[in-house]
Amino acid sequence: MMVVMSGDATHQDAHQVVALVRSAGGEAFVSRGGNRTVIGLTGDAELLGSIGLHRMRGVERVARTSDGYRLVSRVPGVERSVVDVAGVPIGPGTMTLIAGPCAVETPEQTLQAARLALAAGAVLLRGGAFKPRTSPYSFQGLGERGLRILADVREETGLPVVTEVLSAGDVELVAGYADMLQIGTRNMQNFPLLQAVGEAGRPVLLKRGMNATVEEWLMAAEYIAQRGTLDIVLCERGIRTFETSTRNTLDISAVPVAQGLSHLPVVVDPSHSAGRRDLVVPLSRAAVAAGADGVIVDLHPRPETSLCDGPQALGGQDVPELARAVEDAARLMGRRPARDLTGRRESGESGDLTGRRESGESGELTGGEASEDRGLVTV
């Protein structure tokens, strides 16, 4: 079972629900996002259905679900979620472009890529400081130095940062720099990592595993939600099939399927799906047409010199076509480009380079916050 709280419900309202469930011998998992709170329940369903949860203050709906991903499941009659990333919306009604270099290589390369992203209409900057590579001899990323570069570029351009975290032990470090934490395809079922990012107080971009079913993908999202955050964005990035003409096969059907099963936003990564520069823009159009809430694209000022995935990165000459494709397709689908809502600048302006964020800034947990507010509540 799950309890969906209304938009004006208070923390105390949620605590009262937890207390009632406890009195009935059940367990409750409180998960909060930017625009909703959901409480997943376990225990005797018949008993929990009879204790009057639907009459409690702040409760919008009580639903029975047999899904193993009850916190992220779609509830009939309840709108899909919008995830806020440092003021940038990802969700229904908007089209959010996320762009930047696959890997942070130098300050100059990252800033140039960010300016290309702005020119394309992007409102979030992607960039990898820690790179999981198939070969141990391939470029593995700059680590914390790369995170500092991303923070500097954010200060210069105003673009919030999305970057990958590889291990549970690195979550605190990466969350100190990033506005959104990314879980890559190879880590989709790294359960300790999923639990750690769920407690980090940052929105999460969860990429689908290259060999994962949609159900397994949603189960992975549930691990994050169970630890306290509903600010999760699902990312379809292609799955491994018998086809060899592309790096992966973009499962475009996963967009409406996942949206039908879950209230979470769904974005598409055409760069890693295809592994080919010439297919990125066509697949971006297909993603928007299928109902995706956003697109995440690799950009590099000089793709031929890229240390990571150069063949799939768009260069400066490709930016106008990408911008037109995403914006035109979005408006045809009745969506508003997120740039129209955020007022992001189209070119970076000079600013102080601050690096790591101070504890307690917007979106970051402070030590005094109650565990059940952003984490797991066991009753």
| Residue 376: pLDDT over 80 | no
Indicate if 210 and 314 belong to the same structural domain: yes
133 and 9 in a common domain: no
48 lies in which domain range? 2-64
Per-residue pLDDT at 352 exceeds 50: no
Predicted pLDDT of residue 187: 97
Q: Does 377 map to a domain?
A: no
Place of tokens 């209230």: 263
Sort strands 161-164 and 2-5 into parallel, antiparallel or unpaired.
unpaired
Amino acid at 259: Q
Confidence of residue 116 (pLDDT cuts 50, 70, 90): very high
Residue 319 lies in a domain: yes
CA atoms within 13 A on the CB side of 56: 25
Residue 328 CA to residue 324 CA, distance in Å, equals 6
Predicted confidence at residue 246, as pLDDT, reads 96
> Using 50, 70 and 90 to split pLDDT, how confident is the model at 307?
very high
Residue 156 phi/psi, 5° resolution? -75, -40
Q: What is the 3-state secondary structure (H, E, C) of the chain?
A: CEEEECCCCCHHHHHHHHHHHHHCCCEEEEEECCCCEEEEEECCHHHHCCCCHHHCCCEEEEECCCCCCCCCECCCCCCCCCEEECCEEECCCEEEEEEECCECCCHHHHHHHHHHHHHHCCCEEECECCCCCCCCCCCCCCCHHHHHHHHHHHHHHCCCEEEECCCHHHHHHHHCCCCEEEECHHHCCCHHHHHHHHCCCCCEEEECCCCCCHHHHHHHHHHHHHCCECCEEEEECCECCCCCCCCCECCCCHHHHHHHHECCCEEECHHHHHCCHHHHHHHHHHHHHCCCCEEEEEECCCHHHCCCCHHHCECHHHHHHHHHHHHHHHHHCCCEEHHHHHCCCCCCCCCCCCCCCCCCCCCCCCCCCCHHHHCCCCC
Q: What is the pLDDT of residue 318?
A: 97
pLDDT at 344: 58
Residue type (1 letter), 87 = G
pLDDT of residue 377: 30
User: Is the same domain home to 215 and 270?
Assistant: yes
Confidence band of 173 (pLDDT split at 50, 70, 90): very high
Residues 53 and 90 in one domain: no
Contact assessment for residue 115 and residue 306, using Cβ atoms and an 8 Å cutoff: no
Cβ neighbours for 369, distance < 8 A, ≥ 6 positions apart = none
Average pLDDT over residues 143-165: 97
Quick one: average pLDDT of 13-26?
91
- Answer yes or no: is 200 within a domain: yes
Q: What is the CATH number of the domain that holds 25?
A: 3.30.70.1140
Identity at 226, one-letter amino acid code: Q
Q: What CATH number did the domain enclosing 254 receive?
A: 3.20.20.70
User: Which pLDDT band holds residue 346 (cuts at 50, 70, 90)?
Assistant: low
Q: Is residue 26 part of a domain?
A: yes
Do residue 141 and residue 29 come from a single domain?
no
Q: Is 182 left (phi over 0), alpha (psi -120 to 50) or beta?
A: beta
Q: Based on the structure, what is the number of domains in the chain?
A: 2
Please report the pLDDT score of residue 264 as a whole number.
97
For residues 104 and 237, give the distance between their C-alpha atoms in angstroms, rounded to a whole number: 20
In DSSP terms, 126 is beta-bridged to 162
pLDDT in tens, 358-374: 433 333 322 333 333 32
Residues 22 and 89 in one domain: no
Query: Hunting for tokens 């509830």 — which residue is that?
Result: 75
Residues 37 and 140 in one domain: no
Residues 229 and 285 in one domain: yes
pLDDT at 166: 96
Residues 46 and 166 both lie in one domain: no
Mean pLDDT of 114-127: 97
Model-level pTM? 0.85
Amino acid making up residue 185: T
Confidence of residue 184 (pLDDT cuts 50, 70, 90): very high
Q: Which amino acid is at 285?
A: R
**Predicted pLDDT of residue 67:** 75
Which two structure tokens, joined as six digits, stand for 229?
Answer: 């955050």
Do 58 and 105 belong together in one domain? no
Same domain, 175 and 251: yes
Has residue 357 been placed in a domain?
Answer: no
What pLDDT does residue 64 have?
A: 83
Mean pLDDT of the chain: 88
Does residue 113 lie within any of the structural domains?
A: yes
Joined together, the tokens standing for residue 213 give: 């079913």
Report which of residues 33 and 59 the model is more confident about: 59
Share of the chain above pLDDT 90, in %: 72
> Considering only 58-67, 202-211, 311-320, which range has the smallest mean pLDDT?
58-67
Question: What is the average per-residue pLDDT within 349-358?
Answer: 39
| pLDDT tens figures, 259-302 | 999 999 999 999 999 999 999 999 999 999 999 999 999 999 99
pLDDT at 366: 29
Residue whose entry in the numeric block shows the structure tokens 């929105």: 203
Q: Tell me the average pLDDT across 144-169.
A: 97
Q: What are the tens digits of pLDDT across the range 229-252? A: 999 999 999 999 999 999 999 999
Q: Cβ(18)–Cβ(31) under 8 Å?
A: no
* pLDDT above 50 for 123: yes
Mark which of 64, 91, 116 sits at the end of a domain: 64
Same domain assignment for residues 162 and 91: yes
**Does residue 304 lie in a domain region?**
yes
User: What gap in Å lies between CA 126 and CA 157, rounded to an integer?
Assistant: 13
Task: Flag whether 15 is in a domain.
Answer: yes
